[in-house]
Amino acid sequence: MNEFSYADAAVPVRGDLPAAYRRAWRRLAAPGTWWTGAERVAIAAEVRQAARCRLCQQRKLALSPELVDGSHESVGKLPAAAVEVIHRVVSEPARLTRSWFEKQLATRLTDAQYVEIIGVVVSVMSIDTFQRGLGLPPEPLPEPLPGEPSRRRPAGARAEGAWVPMIAERRATGEESDLYVKGRIANVLRALSLVPEEVRGLRDLSAAQYLSPDQLVDLRAGRALDRAQMELLAGRVSALNECFY
């Protein structure tokens, strides 16, 4: 398999990164919890399309994105509500609001479908960003795999103040007992737990791109960059995105 081969890259890439990316691509291609493999790959294609969307560019310049009407320049394989979610999350996450989210759910999009979209979008974006950082083209998307989504909604998910239900640590039992590392469960690590597979995927990618849950609490943990350097990058990216969390 030649996916994520960095043989021709200008710098050597440590092996855990392409390994994690290949696992992410396999997850992407496979049927998910609420979307088929074909739909998940279509979500990924829409992530890349969003960067070229003129409606998104116009909305970025407007005082409020809601003031700009129009249709997204879409790949055309997903419902309009899904396209809206993908483009807005890619282009302007800082200006997402609860009322906007609720408007998406008023269409035929469910909260769980929404969460899975977020999971796919952010996985693809993080990998594409890495490629861009090294001056490499985005990896071609995988061929989708056949099969139906599992459609399993975790029993432990509850409304807890976020827009979507989440699973608390004490409710991560049974099939969800592997979801969290005890005592290290910040809200951002629970945010996608309405679709547990997205949490597992997030953990796998984060361990390669940033730190594992065990390393997070070790303030000396780092790689070629030390922890302070990693956190400076993390903070600056967050500020550039105007992310309060």
Which residues, numbered 93-132, are part of the site for other proteins (CB under 8 A)? 93-98, 101, 115, 118, 121-123, 125-130, 132
User: Rule CB under 8 A: is residue 228 a binding residue for other proteins?
Assistant: yes
User: Rule CB under 8 A: is residue 224 a binding residue for other proteins?
Assistant: yes
Q: Which is nearer to other proteins, 41 or 86 (CB)?
A: 86
Q: Which is nearer to other proteins, 78 or 115 (CB)?
A: 115
3-state secondary structure the chain: CCCCCCCCCCCCCCCHHHHHHHHHHHHHHCCCCCCCHHHHHHHHHHHHHHCCCHHHHHHHHCCCHHHCCCCCCCCCCCCHHHHHHHHHHHHCHHHCCHHHHHHHHCCCCCHHHHHHHHHHHHHHHHHHHHHHHCCCCCCCCCCCCCCCCCCCCCCCEECCCCCCCEECHHHCCHHHCCCCCCCCCCHHHHCCCCCHHHHHHHHHHHHHHCCCHHHHCCCCCCCCCCHHHHHHHHHHHHHHCCCCC
Residue 2-21 contact track with other proteins, rule CB under 8 A, x = bound: ---------xxxx--x----
User: Rule CB under 8 A: is residue 25 a binding residue for other proteins?
Assistant: no
30-38, 71-79, 140-148, 218-226 -> range binding other proteins (CB under 8 A): 218-226
Q: Which is nearer to other proteins, 147 or 226 (CB)?
A: 226
How far is 136 from 128, CA to CA, in rounded Å? 9
Q: Pick from 19, 62, 155, 234 the residue near other proteins by CB under 8 A.
A: 234
Q: Which is nearer to other proteins, 145 or 216 (CB)?
A: 216
Q: What tokens were used for 193?
A: 């737990």
Determine the size of the site formed for other proteins (CB under 8 A). Answer: 71
Residues 58-77 that bind other proteins (CB under 8 A): none
Instruction: Give me the phi and psi of 66, to 5 degrees please.
Output: -70, -15
Residues 154-213 that bind other proteins (CB under 8 A): 161-164, 166, 186-188, 190-192, 202, 205-206, 208-210
Q: Which is nearer to other proteins, 147 or 158 (CB)?
A: 158
CB of 68 to other proteins, least distance (A): 17
CB of 164 to other proteins, least distance (A): 5
Do residues 195 and 34 touch, judged by C-beta distance below 8 A? yes
Q: Which is nearer to other proteins, 42 or 115 (CB)?
A: 115
